[in-house]
A and B are shown apart, each in its own frame.
Chain A
Amino acid sequence: MNSASPLIQLRSVSKSYWKGTESIEAIAELDLELPEKGMVAIVGPSGSGKSTLLHLIGAMDRPTRGEVVVAGQVVNRLSQADLTHFRRQTVGFVFQTFNLIQNLTALENVALPMEFNGVGKSERTKRAKALLERFQLGHRLKHRPNELSGGEMQRVAIARAIANEPRLVLADEPTGNLDSRSGQMIYERLHEISRDRTVLVVTHAEDLARLADRVIHIRDGRLAQAEGSEADRHRPHAANFPQ
């Protein structure tokens, strides 16, 4: 991947919803480019459109107008089959409520996206086990979600998100349901995986957002400001981000 070409490009993207007879513009004529690798925090008040932005980039929703280009693909024009392919290979999701499959073990949860991607059983088991061990969950392989703590569940979710080695991980309020200690740990993990990919995090937690390589402020569906964080200067890949 040429580091000069952005991983994510949003061109005049708008997203409107109908609430009864009233049209609400969640994202308004937004232009944004984000490069390959690094951690980007999207912050803003509730209802500012930050989650909508994440969903548009992750092809979980389609813009009303404009184009969303991720890894060279115009995701809002992809067919259903191509969208499935895109979700398997290009993007990984981390949700606020973890969204693990309740009747699968931690190991099976992490192996599932690889199964969808056609990875053989022994290979995916090996890789899922390695990922969980990397996140200090080697002793929880056979545990089901209801037997794990919130922090552990979110670490399983992060492992699942990077199982197919996607170039982009989208995390929607990943610490929203965690205590501050667990939240800190999750941010560290997200930082860790952002060395090899772009990690886009939606958060309310300004203190955690400051750890990101870049912070995007969003208000009323528009960019309020985009800036490098305090940590930028200490990261090897910080130079990838426009200042």
Chain B
Amino acid sequence: MGMVILGLRNLLRNKLRLVLVAILIGIPFFLLLAMYSIGDAMQRQTAVLAENVNTVLQLRARGSMGHVNMVGQDRILPQHVLEKVRGIEHVEHVEPYLLAMAPITPPNFVMHVGLAPTAVKRLESHGEAGNPRIIAGRDFTPEDAGQAVAIIGQGYADWAGIKAEDVGKATLTVDPTRTHPAIFQMDRPTRELRIIGMYASGYVFGDLQLFMPINTFRSIYGTGEGISWLFVKVDSVDSISLVAQRLRETVRDVADILVPEHAAVFTATTSRTVTQISGAGGLLAIVLMVTVVFFVLLMAVRERAREIGTLKAIGASNGGVTVQFLTKAVALSLLGGALGLLLFRAVGSLLTGRLFALGIGPFLPSHYKPLFESLAVGNQVSASVLLLAFVVAVLAAVIGGSYGVWLALTLSPLEAMKHE
């Protein structure tokens, strides 16, 4: 019959009170799990969104579109910028592009794009289109580097009389000498490119472009060095602002830097706001648990002062009294925790969703609210969360119960017996 068992038996003295206390501890415990769940769901949601938002910065020669043959807009970035940018921390990789315009009638001109065969084919556009989708032939492979091959947009192919079934055999002649009011003549020989693939983008100008390996572009247009555009892929949305700052320090007034500020703002506001709110909610829940345990233990010491005195009078050590009271506190806390866990498993999804809508949703930046309207808050509790919850319950018991235990320890047997 150790002090541990005595402490556990004391729990059962007043069953109604036990139930009430378990509920009082269970509710903040439920809140704690709910806050964790909301934080977790938000982190997952923002992680998914962050993966899909743009983390690519773009550099162009300052004040220029960077097209090698566009009247008044032909300034390009010097080649050394590429090496400098590659060395910046959090830069995942860089993709240099070279662009030239070519006249057609109608609708006036198409775009020739030189890029590394493995680079993402980004359309010269204003953001309306997605990336091109190959609809005939094949995409580039690393072996295509420097080869006279190209992938053509279906609109451009239509103008050139190239059908999908011709892809792989058809050729297109690139002639840098042809001009247009916006295009100046380049005194370079023509080059025949074999069309190995055809793409569709979903909008008219997007389909009027021709992709070729960058070294092939350089040899056609005589652009031995320099870059029209440099796309800089950053490792995460969190690093965008930092990388943008480093880029500005590195290239100074050589380049304009187009930063996807939206993505950076997204991380800086939404996920941080939610983390802070759910963290504060979790802390509040823990404080509530500690407070309940504190008052329960205080009441127990006051009620049982005579018993504590008796135990000391018949030889109980301070350690024994501590064990008895802490056992009671921990058992109460765990019981409340179990109740909170059961409640969370039963109605966690429903109540947590409502809790989020009422308690956190209103604090989100207004333009992000729709993103989280369908937040999937689960009622699953992983082993690690369970372990964490167990530790929190025990700590709440120890912290909340420590004052009561201290009171019990400082009572002399005589004082304790007079107490009643």
Residues in A lying within 8 Å of B, measured CB to CB: 55, 58, 60-61, 80-81, 84, 87-89, 92-93, 95, 99, 101-104, 108, 111-113, 115-117, 160, 164
Partner of B412 from A60, A93, A99, A101 at Cβ < 8 Å: A60
A87 to B316, CA, bound (A): 9
- What are 26 of the A-B contact pairs (CB < 8 Å)? A55-B414, A60-B414, A84-B316, A84-B317, A84-B318, A87-B312, A87-B313, A87-B314, A87-B413, A88-B314, A89-B315, A92-B314, A93-B314, A99-B309, A101-B6, A101-B307, A103-B6, A108-B1, A111-B1, A113-B315, A115-B1, A116-B314, A116-B316, A116-B317, A116-B320, A160-B314
Residue of A nearest to B1 (CB): A108
Residue of A nearest to B416 (CB): A60
Residue of A nearest to B316 (CB): A116
- CB <8 Å contact, A101 and B310: yes
A87 with B315: in contact, given A61-B412, A99-B306, A115-B1 (CB under 8 Å)? yes
A104 to B2, CA, bound (A): 11
A80 to B317, CA, bound (A): 9
Using an 8 Å CB-CB cutoff, how does the interface string of B356-399 with A read, 1 for contact, 0 for none? 00000000000000000000000000000000000000000000
Q: Which residues of B contact A104 (CB under 8 A)?
A: 1, 6, 9
Partner of B314 from A61, A102, A112 at Cβ < 8 Å: A112
Q: Which residues of A contact B315 (CB under 8 A)?
A: 84, 87-89, 113, 116-117, 164
A102 to B9, CA, bound (A): 10
Interface of B is mostly: helix
Interface residues of B in 1-19 (CB under 8 A from A): 1-2, 6, 9-10, 12-13
Closest chain A CB from B24 CB (angstroms): 22
A205 to B312, CA, bound (A): 28
B94 within 8 A of partner (CB): no
- CB <8 Å contact, B312 and A103: no
- CB <8 Å contact, A115 and B313: no
B172 within 8 A of partner (CB): no
B311 within 8 A of partner (CB): yes
Q: Which residues of B contact A87 (CB under 8 A)?
A: 312-315, 413
B417 within 8 A of partner (CB): yes
Q: Which residues of B contact A116 (CB under 8 A)?
A: 314-317, 320
Q: Which residues of A contact B13 (CB under 8 A)?
A: 102-103
Q: Which residues of A contact B6 (CB under 8 A)?
A: 101, 103-104
Q: Which residues of B contact A108 (CB under 8 A)?
A: 1
Q: Which residues of B contact A84 (CB under 8 A)?
A: 312, 315-318
- CB <8 Å contact, B414 and A99: no
A61 with B307: in contact, given A87-B315, A102-B13, A116-B316 (CB under 8 Å)? no
Closest chain B CB from A118 CB (angstroms): 10
A93 with B320: in contact, given A99-B306, A103-B10 (CB under 8 Å)? no
Q: Which residues of B contact A89 (CB under 8 A)?
A: 315
Interface residues of B in 310-345 (CB under 8 A from A): 310-318, 320
A101 to B3, CA, bound (A): 12
Partner of A115 from B2, B10, B318 at Cβ < 8 Å: B2
Q: Which residues of B contact A113 (CB under 8 A)?
A: 314-315
Closest chain A CB from B66 CB (angstroms): 84
Q: Which residues of B contact A99 (CB under 8 A)?
A: 306-307, 309-310, 313, 417
Q: Which residues of A contact B317 (CB under 8 A)?
A: 81, 84, 116
Q: Which residues of A contact B12 (CB under 8 A)?
A: 103
Q: Which residues of B contact A103 (CB under 8 A)?
A: 6, 9-10, 12-13
Closest chain A CB from B325 CB (angstroms): 14
- CB <8 Å contact, B413 and A101: no
A112 to B318, CA, bound (A): 15
Q: Which residues of A contact B306 (CB under 8 A)?
A: 99
12 new A-B pairs (CB below 8 Å) besides A84-B318, A99-B417, A104-B6? A58-B313, A60-B413, A80-B318, A84-B316, A88-B315, A89-B315, A99-B307, A99-B310, A103-B6, A111-B1, A115-B1, A116-B317
A92 to B310, CA, bound (A): 11
The 6 closest A-B pairs by CB, nearest first: A88-B315, A116-B315, A99-B310, A60-B414, A113-B314, A103-B9
A61 to B309, CA, bound (A): 12
A207 to B361, CA, bound (A): 81
Closest chain B CB from A148 CB (angstroms): 16
A93 to B6, CA, bound (A): 21
Residue of A nearest to B409 (CB): A80
- CB <8 Å contact, B417 and A95: yes
Interface residues of B in 400-420 (CB under 8 A from A): 412-414, 417
Most chain B C-beta atoms within 10 Å of own C-beta, residue among A58, A113, A116, A117: A116
A113 to B316, CA, bound (A): 8
Residue of B nearest to A92 (CB): B314
Residue of B nearest to A116 (CB): B315
A212 to B312, CA, bound (A): 28
A81 to B1, CA, bound (A): 22
Residue of B nearest to A107 (CB): B1
Interface residues of B in 283-318 (CB under 8 A from A): 306-307, 309-318
Q: Which residues of B contact A111 (CB under 8 A)?
A: 1
A61 with B414: in contact, given A103-B10, A108-B1 (CB under 8 Å)? yes
Residue of B nearest to A103 (CB): B9
- CB <8 Å contact, B1 and A112: yes
Residue of B nearest to A86 (CB): B315
